[in-house]
Amino acid sequence: MKSSIKIILFISLLLLIALASYRIIPNLIENYLDSALSDEENNHTYADEEDTYLEEALSSDGTTTVKENEVEQVHQFISNIHQQWNDIVGWGGYQNLNFDKLADVLQETETEILEIKKLISDERIIEDLENAKSLFVIGVEQENQIAIVYVHRIFHDLDIIYNGYSNNKGFGGYSNLDQQGSVKVDQLLKEFKES
């Protein structure tokens, strides 16, 4: 009887180790890539930027930075495109990118960006969209995983700031609406131009 209990305990221990490995190893790989991309970006929050931007964008005193019909359509576009990018690269998706499929998504995204830009008067948002499009093109043409991850981070930070998600953390340095501006994106684009 004691030997059967030992066997059951041993098998249970092996199952726990296997389950832990299945959950831990992909997380370790994802964390390694994230830390390789940047070491300070996980602690940036946007409470101040989003409140300031929303007050500025939605004011009715004539100094508004949005066109009359921009607000709802742009909010929805940014939210939708961020969700699309969550589906593409989030939850480890960046590890298994299908660049042929991304080429099709690129064509659709370029068209959507062209249309939504007509409604946007804030040059910072337009520049974010242009940066995302440029990195998307580079990512697809060069099959560059980091460029694709940066596209997601632009839309992630833009969504948090523009749509006012105060309880969410941003990456910082990817959107022009951020206090830091898009310094990380600018640096990566500069590296691609120099190479």
The domain ranges of the chain are 1-37, 41-194
Q: How confident is the model at residue 69 (pLDDT cuts 50, 70, 90)?
A: low
Helix (H) or strand (E) holding 123: helix 123-142
Q: How confident is the model at residue 93 (pLDDT cuts 50, 70, 90)?
A: confident
**4-36 as b/e, with b when 16 or more CB fall inside 10 Å?**
eeeeeeeeeeeeeeeeeeeeeeeeeeeeeeeee
Tell me what pLDDT residue 169 has.
76
How much is the pTM?
A: 0.67
pLDDT digits (tens, 9 = 90+) for 130-170: 999 999 999 999 999 999 999 999 999 999 888 887 666 78
